Structure 1
């Protein structure tokens, strides 16, 4: 599976259990060449690494808290015991105090599909500081040629003069809705990584949205088939052929594209302001591409 710009965690198996570790901590993330944001992430990155599991796995995810406040993690879309769900203020699911850790343990009972994980404590701050990542249930017998995951986020970056791109390190204002950087896997175009494919092959593109805004994702030069929504496989009668799909906050989609039109093809959010970096001219923001590999 390919996850541009992202680390993957496959876990270490011991006595039939897959063990993972996540560390919630302040992160200095490079979103563009020479432009860094100071946010919060997991394992040194925004977003955090993508966790890969299989149906039926018993998992244990040890989460360390190195943030300046307590936190928790919610396993978004997963059918798990209440104590493991992470909505600490609404459930008997514990918070993780500063400097402490907690082990989330559950069995993967959901079918293959795309999910996410994110903080569920002081979410209006912690989630908008960057605390989230992908959680993918992978079919071991899946034979798709290319499998990509794109996590969509947005940030209100302080102290960078409007319509400029001066290199430096800037803080994130988690309380602001004046977003000026829109990222795919923690990067803005042109720093995003293209999705490579050979002609005649099939691509699965998984998408998840963790921010505040709606993101209509659009591909050029191709049609795709929507196969899965919110981690749930769609019946054949609902698998629509489209070239755009809109993701609200918390939604995931999986689409499949047959690579039958060689070239370099944009894949991007169609909201105009989301295709810019700090409102500057030229393409930027939540944009990547499908790039055909020359044989």
Structure 2
């Protein structure tokens, strides 16, 4: 055999080996790309409920809240302390609550060692009070936005919005709910006892690496951080005991890149009663609810005495092409929260058939 043939043969063998190696690596990446916690959660941690924020009413009728961004640490896993940020605590923040028509002021103090902001996600308010990247609060400084609440009852939230660092600040724990009420919604026969039959659920996906949140991403991902499991209100593997026939869940997708398709492990139907803009005109009975990052929804779930069911996020088929579907979360599934009904439940009224009236946009006449 000539030298040239030997070189060609060796080169071909090397290229074939490299091709097989690359194909094998891609096959491994493809088959291991989906993440699931279905059937793997122990549900041995009682769900934490964010406290309602304290407030005071000034002489001019303004309701004043105080929020302090601060560093902290928390044991999400026994024996492992994780560095965190929070509002008025180590992680996450209290739930602010106000009525339509009220004047509101929030004194935001930045106790971190770097600048940040606080954005009122979903709130109708002047741009100079919005807390976007143009309104950074320096370390050690205080910012006091104020406005009049002028929108229907809704589930909103607040979080930092610094340019290029929003993901990091939210993942470390700077997030909380802001619930708005109004007289019309107060008259509806919906569950309204906060933390009892009206439960806030701040859902985030996380990964842990030693004593810190892991903010990295996989080699094939292009949508941002996607965690390996979920936590609710800062609680891993959570369960919640319920003692009422109907429970209102205020769902917030506080993940920074992941989209969820919520449903229940027994495929029961539930009533969707509100979305980002507030209550719907009428409830909608559904079995799946898709929420992108930052979206909120209110659902009413009917429970039977002594039963257990799991709030689950299911795979989705609308994440784009096969590549996007596989590597950016479309095939992932999570057991998010277990609901445990008491053996005897307090009676609850049925979900109202009518929830509210929305203003409709008028079609401009053609010239």
Partners of 1:57 and 1:32 in 2: how far apart? 41
Cα-to-partner distance string for 1:207-227 (whole Å, 9 max, x where unaligned): 011212112222244321111
Partners of 2:77 and 2:288 in 1: how far apart? 26
- Could you say which residue in structure 2 is the equivalent of 1:69? 114
Counterparts in 2 of 1:123 and 1:258: CA distance versus 1, 3 Å: same
Partners of 2:113 and 2:315 in 1: how far apart? 35
- Could you say which residue in structure 2 is the equivalent of 1:106? 147
Asked if structure 2 preserves the Cα contact closer than 8 Å seen for 1:125 and 1:175, the reply is no
Q: Which runs of 5+ in 2 are unaligned?
A: 1-46, 192-196, 218-224, 317-332, 345-367
TM-score, structure 1 length as denominator? 0.81
- Could you say which residue in structure 2 is the equivalent of 1:131? 174
- Could you say which residue in structure 1 is the equivalent of 2:340? 291
Shift of 1:235: 2.2
Which is higher, the Rg of structure 1 or of structure 2? 2
1:226-237 to structure 2, matched below 5 A, reads: 226-236=272-282
Aligned residues: 262
- Could you say which residue in structure 2 is the equivalent of 1:166? none
- Could you say which residue in structure 1 is the equivalent of 2:247? 203
Q: Which runs of 5+ in 1 are unaligned?
A: 160-169, 273-283
Q: CA RMSD in A?
A: 2.4
- Could you say which residue in structure 1 is the equivalent of 2:190? 144
Partners of 2:177 and 2:259 in 1: how far apart? 18
Counterparts in 2 of 1:72 and 1:108: CA distance versus 1, 3 Å: same
Q: Does 1:47 align with 2:111?
A: no
- Could you say which residue in structure 2 is the equivalent of 1:268? 312
TM-score, structure 2 length as denominator? 0.66
Shift of 1:143: 4.0
In terms of mean alpha carbon deviation, does 145-154 or 68-77 score higher? Answer: 145-154
- Could you say which residue in structure 2 is the equivalent of 1:96? 137
Partners of 1:187 and 1:124 in 2: how far apart? 19
Partners of 2:272 and 2:54 in 1: how far apart? 26
Cα-to-partner distance string for 1:230-286 (whole Å, 9 max, x where unaligned): 1322222xx3211221211010011112334641111233359xxxxxxxxxxx975
In terms of fraction of residues, the more helix-rich structure is 2
Shift of 1:109: 1.0
In terms of fraction of residues, the more strand-rich structure is 1
Counterparts in 2 of 1:266 and 1:178: CA distance versus 1, 3 Å: closer
Partners of 1:10 and 1:228 in 2: how far apart? 26
Asked if structure 1 preserves the Cα contact closer than 8 Å seen for 2:92 and 2:173, the reply is yes
Asked if structure 2 preserves the Cα contact closer than 8 Å seen for 1:6 and 1:185, the reply is yes
Partners of 2:73 and 2:114 in 1: how far apart? 18
Partners of 1:10 and 1:114 in 2: how far apart? 18
Asked if structure 2 preserves the Cα contact closer than 8 Å seen for 1:124 and 1:175, the reply is no
Shift of 1:77: 0.6
Asked if structure 1 preserves the Cα contact closer than 8 Å seen for 2:86 and 2:92, the reply is yes
Counterparts in 2 of 1:125 and 1:38: CA distance versus 1, 3 Å: same
Cα-to-partner distance string for 1:60-110 (whole Å, 9 max, x where unaligned): 111110112101111001100111111133xxxx32110111112111112
- Could you say which residue in structure 2 is the equivalent of 1:156? 207
SS at match of 2:235: coil
Partners of 1:35 and 1:244 in 2: how far apart? 35
